[in-house]
């Protein structure tokens, strides 16, 4: 069978490690440099929750009146207050409850290793309800569209559409500290979040082990490269270089992930295995020579238009189990203060339940930032007023106008990763539109 360009690309998608043919990673460091690596380690893990997680059943106020209003406004999918996992805001002493499935995340929060960012979403500038309704075209997040929501969250830029992500742009500035691999490693496939202006991402094959590059494909490409070298076939030579780079990256990942055996058990779900891979790579960071890394992973499917009680509970169970195991592994590795985890979702969901036992697309939502190296135990911001048609409700159904922007939240993560003010303003161009600045996370 002849190998066409289309067939080659089709075969190439089977690689366990994906590399860009036009921009191969060349930040290889010497053994001496690795041994002298003295910078403290920091890593960021983004967990994206595709579909739009229902924030109203994720974080609830334990205030008696607010809870009564909540149950009256969405009786078919309201949660029993006695099943919630209690947390406290350490700055106000206000009491909240997390979804019954979020036991590990609640425990992290109560141990000072997590914060909840309340009512956060895609927003180009601080805005009132009147401003939003007067100029809806300025607020892409108000469209409540999955593609737009994902793009807005992963780019952290609401004022314009861009093809780079905030994780990739942070990685542009820390690439010299990533060792022999690119600074962005994806356990969730390709995503805008992973794309920088200059760096590439390494994508891990899903499954129980790092996938090997098929031997038959190696042989075919190698033979093609050797045969065509004399005539300088640029396509074949570029892709032979791509194959070599992918194989080298695969070898580095294999060595890094096998250098330390984790005792912590992980769930057998795809998400659990992905979090285990990330922990294994962190454990082998000295093999890579990395002091800064950014990771991306997907979890669940939160578009709960129907049967929300069961579906959201199932997906949050999976999230919580994977996160719990991951932080236990960080404790085992002594990395509890060096790693930060945050969540994303397309948007929140409406307070009003629909007739199918679900809820529909909203706007603002609540998200978690977890890690030992932050000022934890806080609920940052406030929950929207519990009612329809209030100052935070953009459509009368309880779709919340965000009080805080994705830009402010993610810029706080960039600051935690070590970016200075100039770098932050370059990575997060909308930040200048928010007088209150970024969300401070550090102790």
The pLDDT tens digits for 47-90 are 999 999 999 999 999 999 999 999 999 999 999 999 999 999 99
For residue 9, with 0-12 CB atoms within 10 Å meaning exposed, 13-18 middle and 19 or more buried, which class applies?
Answer: exposed
Please indicate, yes or no, if residue 442 is contained in any of the structural domains. no
Q: How confident is residue 202, by pLDDT bands cut at 50, 70 and 90? A: confident
Decide the pairing of beta strands 59-61 and 42-49.
Answer: unpaired
Domain that holds residue 86: 5-433
Residue with tokens 């929060």: 109
Decide if pLDDT at 30 tops 90. Answer: no
Decide if pLDDT at 158 tops 70. Answer: yes
Main-chain dihedrals φ then ψ at residue 228, nearest 5 degrees: -95, 0
Asked if residue 294 lies in contact with residue 154, where contact means CB atoms within 8 angstroms, the answer is no
Q: What percentage of the chain exceeds 90 in pLDDT?
A: 70
Alpha-carbon span 36 to 13, nearest angstrom? 36
Residue with tokens 């690689």: 15
User: What is the pLDDT, as a whole number, of residue 244?
Assistant: 58
List, in sequence order, every beta strand (DSSP E) within 289-385. Answer: 292-298, 339-345, 349-353, 359-361, 365-370, 378-380
Alpha-carbon span 392 to 48, nearest angstrom? 24
Neighbours of 61 (CB within 10 A): 18
User: What is the pLDDT, as a whole number, of residue 28?
Assistant: 42
Decide if pLDDT at 212 tops 60. Answer: no
Please indicate, yes or no, if residue 438 is contained in any of the structural domains. no
User: What is the pLDDT, as a whole number, of residue 234?
Assistant: 64
User: What is the pLDDT, as a whole number, of residue 211?
Assistant: 44
Residue with more model confidence, 199 or 209: 199
Residue with tokens 């742009």: 169
User: How much is the mean pLDDT over the chain?
Assistant: 85
Coil/strand/helix, residue 30:
coil
Please indicate, yes or no, if residue 439 is contained in any of the structural domains. no
Range of lowest pLDDT (15-19, 277-281, 331-335, 422-426): 15-19
User: Which residue in 403, 396, 311 sits closest to 123, CA to CA?
Assistant: 403
Alpha-carbon span 46 to 154, nearest angstrom? 10
Please indicate, yes or no, if residue 102 is contained in any of the structural domains. yes
Please indicate, yes or no, if residue 440 is contained in any of the structural domains. no
Neighbours of 29 (CB within 10 A): 16
Residue with more model confidence, 26 or 47: 47
Q: pTM of the full predicted structure?
A: 0.87
User: What is the pLDDT, as a whole number, of residue 243?
Assistant: 58
Range of lowest pLDDT (70-84, 139-153, 243-257, 368-382): 243-257
Q: How confident is residue 235, by pLDDT bands cut at 50, 70 and 90? A: low
Please, where are the H alpha helices in 334-378?
none
Please indicate, yes or no, if residue 277 is contained in any of the structural domains. yes
Interhelix angle 270-283/308-333, nearest 10 degrees = 20
Q: Is 207 left (phi over 0), alpha (psi -120 to 50) or beta?
A: left
Decide the pairing of beta strands 339-345 and 365-370.
Answer: antiparallel
Q: Which structure tokens are listed for 442? A: 């550090």
Per-residue pLDDT tens for 213-230? 445 455 555 565 555 555
Which distant-in-sequence residues (6+ apart) come within 8 Å of 316 by Cβ?
58, 99, 101, 102, 300
Neighbours of 286 (CB within 10 A): 16
Q: Which structure tokens are listed for 266? A: 């992980």
Alpha-carbon span 407 to 120, nearest angstrom? 9
Asked if residue 57 lies in contact with residue 357, where contact means CB atoms within 8 angstroms, the answer is no
- The H or E element spanning position 317 is helix 308-333
Q: How confident is residue 7, by pLDDT bands cut at 50, 70 and 90? A: very low
User: What is the pLDDT, as a whole number, of residue 290?
Assistant: 85
Which distant-in-sequence residues (6+ apart) come within 8 Å of 227 by Cβ?
none
User: What is the pLDDT, as a whole number, of residue 160?
Assistant: 84
Coil/strand/helix, residue 396:
coil
Using the Cα atoms of residue 97, residue 98, residue 100 and residue 103 in order, give the sign of their dihedral.
Answer: negative
Please indicate, yes or no, if residue 223 is contained in any of the structural domains. yes
Domain count, the chain: 1
List, in sequence order, every beta strand (DSSP E) within 35-106. Answer: 42-49, 59-61, 85-88, 95-98
Range of lowest pLDDT (171-180, 317-326, 380-389): 171-180
Alpha-carbon span 85 to 407, nearest angstrom? 29
Please indicate, yes or no, if residue 39 is contained in any of the structural domains. yes
């Amino acid at each position: 069978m002849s190998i066409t360009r289309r067939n080659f690309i089709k075969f190439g998608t089977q690689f366990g490690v994906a590399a860009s043919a036009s921009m191969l990673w060349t930040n290889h460091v010497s053994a001496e440099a690795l041994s002298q690596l003295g910078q403290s380690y920091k890593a960021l893990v983004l967990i994206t929750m595709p579909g739009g997680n229902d924030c109203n059943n994720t974080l609830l106020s334990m205030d008696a009146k607010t809870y009564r209003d909540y149950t009256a406004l969405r009786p078919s999918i309201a949660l029993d207050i006695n099943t919630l996992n209690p947390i406290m805001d350490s700055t106000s002493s206000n009491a909240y409850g997390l979804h019954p499935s979020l036991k590990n995340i609640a425990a992290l929060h109560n141990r000072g290793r997590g914060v909840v960012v309340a009512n956060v979403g895609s927003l180009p500038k601080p805005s009132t309800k009147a401003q939003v309704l007067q100029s809806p075209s300025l607020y892409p997040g108000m469209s409540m569209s999955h593609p737009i929501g994902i793009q807005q969250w992963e780019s952290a830029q609401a004022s314009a559409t861009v093809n780079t992500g905030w994780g990739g742009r942070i990685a542009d500035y820390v690439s010299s500290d990533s060792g022999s691999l690119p600074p962005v490693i994806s356990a969730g496939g390709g995503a805008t979040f992973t794309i920088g202006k200059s760096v590439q991402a390494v994508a891990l094959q899903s499954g129980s082990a790092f996938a090997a590059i098929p031997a038959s494909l190696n042989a075919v490409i190698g033979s093609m490269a050797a045969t065509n070298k004399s005539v300088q076939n640029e396509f074949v030579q570029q892709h032979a270089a791509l194959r070599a780079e992918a194989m080298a990256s695969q070898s580095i990942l294999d060595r890094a992930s096998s250098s330390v055996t984790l005792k912590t058990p992980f769930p057998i779900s795809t998400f659990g295995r992905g979090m285990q891979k990330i922990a294994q790579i962190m454990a082998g960071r000295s093999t890579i020579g990395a002091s800064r890394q950014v990771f991306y992973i997907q979890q669940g499917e939160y578009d709960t238009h129907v049967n929300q009680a069961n579906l959201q509970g199932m997906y949050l169970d999976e999230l919580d189990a994977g996160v719990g195991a991951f932080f236990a592994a960080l404790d085992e590795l002594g990395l509890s203060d060096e790693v930060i985890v945050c969540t994303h979702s397309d948007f929140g969901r409406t307070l009003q339940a629909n007739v199918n036992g679900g809820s529909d697309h909203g706007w603002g939502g609540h998200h978690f930032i977890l890690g030992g190296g932050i000022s934890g135990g806080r609920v940052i911001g406030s929950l929207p007023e519990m009612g329809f048609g209030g100052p935070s409700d953009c459509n009368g159904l309880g779709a919340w106008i965000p009080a805080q922007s994705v830009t402010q939240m993610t810029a706080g993560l960039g600051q935690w990763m070590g970016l200075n003010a100039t770098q932050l303003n370059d990575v997060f161009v909308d930040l200048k539109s928010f007088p209150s600045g970024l969300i401070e996370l550090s102790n």
